[in-house]
Amino acid sequence: MTTRRLVTYGFVILIAGVLAGVQLGGVMFGNDLAKSLRKVEDAFVLIAQRYVEDVDHEEMAEDAITGMLAALDPHSLYFDAERMRRETEQFDASFEGIGVSYNLIDGSEDQDTISVVTVLPGGPSEAAGLFTGDRIIAVDGTSSIGFNDEQVRSSLKGPRGSEVVVTIRRPGVPEPFDVQITRDQVPIVTLDIAYMMDDATGYIKLNRFARTTHSEFRRALRDLKARGMERLILDLRGNGGGYMSMAVRVSDEFLSDGQLIVSQKGRTADTNESYSATDGGLWEEGPVIVLVGPTSASASEIVAGALQDHDRALIVGKRTFGKGLVQNQFRLNDGSAMRVTVARYYTPSGRLIQTAYESGDRSAYLEEKREMQRHDGALALSDLLAEVPDSLKYRTSSGRTVIAGGGILPDYIVHEDTLDAFTRAILRGAHERDFVRQWLDLNGRATFDRFGDDLWAFTEGFEITDADLDDLYAFAQERDLLGPAEEAGGQIGRDEMDEPGLKALLKGRIARRLYDQSGWYPAFHPVDQTLKAATDLWGDATDLADSYTAR
């Protein structure tokens, strides 16, 4: 039996004793708990000293923590020191480095090459002249061919003010050349884009809820209002959550003083808390549509649930993930941390956001969520409401029926069109990204020179051509993505392409790499089925807003 399995089976609660000393030293334990902790401590020492083979004490400890948390719920987690550092960067919304996003391009004998995907605006690499599509082949004179992700991060990130020399191979430039970059603080924005879709409609996309989210959101609201915004689409699709406090503050911009936003209920008095809106929100009256999907989770669900329960916004899309567990984070002495569930989140109407789960069975938990999405996709909203037991039915402020049972079920469910066979073949392995990288190697510099740093000029003036789709089809043939011609049904034909969808997909990928994440949205929005459905519902959203204001 391996050391990992031995620890998982027999000693999964050891670290509770360590935590008792490190994090909870002032707490008094009952005799039963103290006896159990001593038993596990004795077993750990016994294995360390007497097991037939040498054991890795650190590995044993980490396996013990992981096993202990896995037996509780799907969202109590352990983060080793390195992962904890990366998590902190994401939610602190900044890091120190050179300011690029990258991919590792497959090379011969697994010798991957660092390819620059995006040069982050305002970052050190932009100032130094790096460009999308550049290959970083050496760092400070040492070859970076074959680096893994950890080696890339450790070599390119570093303290603000420190310098690094990267050797660049640029498509179309005969010889590699060196670029000296001074590392700096690089912001990680949580608001991908805020723009006017038309003369009246503002659109804001939040990708997470981190330390800077509320200030970014308020800035965007002010800007859109100054441009004449009369109605707002808030897109939370793909937003996995983050800081609850940021969700509360974003919700507060829409709700009236004193309205409940979210409550949390736990086992002890100190984990029971309610959070309500204050006065002076920037968008307390205009129509709002919130877009959600299966990966909208946690803080996103707090916002969607609050606005739905108070009849402040129309929720459109698909059922959200259903993560309504409150985790407290406990740092351990080596920089690692545990996130332990201490309470559950409830919407203003009293709905539990969390999907039901069996302790210790994460795979069944995720499969249940997938099955719930499939079930939603087969029924109309009225059918879903009819089949739900009364115990899961709740009322909004104006008396509309909403349901619990896991996640936030939208007011309007969008059943998106099924992708055509060619697009499925392309997306299955993210092959469109490889095609776009090759396209940019040939055309990227000329395209950027044509439009400069003006995303909107690119959005209005750039189009994917039929010749580009011909090249994409040939690319798919070369990679054997279209199926053998001799099989029944034959190879997927060029005429079977969803041309508008593919053109939008490729244009969005190119825009993202030439500019930043914001480039994706205006390029892809013309074929975004959920967004198109939402724009047909402004009558309902306006009625909600008028009713809310009149109360």
The pLDDT value given to residue 254: 98
pLDDT for residue 347: 98
| Model pLDDT for residues 393-428, shown as the tens digit of each residue | 999 999 999 999 999 999 999 987 788 999 999 998
In terms of DSSP bridges, do strands 288-292 and 273-276 run parallel, antiparallel, or are they unpaired?
A: unpaired
Report pLDDT digits (tens) over 147-157. 988 899 889 98
391 token code pair: 């115990």
**Low-confidence residues of the chain, pLDDT below 70?**
1-30, 89-94, 108-111, 360, 485-490
Angle at 542 between CA 541 and CA 545, to 5 degrees: 90
Residue listed under structure tokens 């970076």: 144
Residue 497 to residue 477: CA distance in whole angstroms: 13
- Show Cβ contacts of residue 347 under 8 Å, excluding neighbours closer than 6 positions: 262, 302, 305, 306, 308, 309, 353, 394, 408
What pLDDT does 93 receive? 59
What residues are paired with 135 via a beta bridge?
Answer: 115, 169
Please state, in angstroms and rounded to a whole number, the distance separating the CA atoms of residues 345 and 158: 38
The pTM for the full model equals: 0.85
Cα dihedral across residues 214, 217, 223, 224: positive or negative: negative
> How many Cα neighbours within 13 Å face the side chain of 70?
14
- Collapsed DSSP state (helix, strand, coil) of residue 56: coil
- Three-class DSSP category at 118: strand
Q: What is the pLDDT of residue 8?
A: 40
pLDDT of 137 reads 93
- For residue 368, the model assigns a pLDDT of 83
At CA 363, angle to CA 292 and CA 383, rounded to 5?
A: 45
Q: Residue written as tokens 């099924």?
A: 418
Q: Which domains does the chain have, with CATH numbers?
A: 3-71 (no CATH), 95-187 (2.30.42.10), 191-327+342-413 (3.90.226.10), 421-531 (no CATH)
Q: Could you tell me which residues come within 8 angstroms of residue 215 by beta carbon, excluding any fewer than 6 positions away?
A: none
Return the closest-CA partner of residue 507 out of 519, 495, 494, 498: 519
Q: Do 338 and 78 contact (CB within 8 A), yes or no?
A: yes
Cα distance between residue 69 and residue 359, in whole Å: 10
Distance CA 450, CA 132 (A): 15
The Cα 540–Cα 287 span in angstroms is: 9
Burial class of residue 331, CB neighbours in 10 A (0-12, 13-18, 19+): middle
Q: Are strands 201-206 and 314-317 parallel, antiparallel or unpaired?
A: unpaired
Q: What residues are paired with 231 via a beta bridge?
A: 201
Nearest-angstrom CA–CA distance, 136 and 353 = 45
> Can you tell me the distance from the alpha carbon of 349 to that of 404, in angstroms, rounded to the nearest whole number?
10
d(CA 21, CA 154): 33
CA 115 distance to own-chain centroid: 22
Q: Which residues are annotated as catalytic?
A: 298, 309, 323
The DSSP string of 238-257 is T---B-HHHHHHHHHTTS-T
Question: What separation in angstroms does the CA of 551 have from each of 8, 20, 192, 397, 546?
Answer: 56, 51, 34, 10, 9
What's the pLDDT at 441?
Answer: 92
The CA distance from 354 to 13, in Å, is: 25
Q: Which residue is it, tokens 């020191």?
A: 81
CA atoms in the 13 A half-sphere facing the CB of 282: 19
402: phi then psi, degrees, rounded to nearest 5:
-125, 160
Could you give the CA distance from residue 410 to residue 412 in angstroms, rounded to a whole number? 5
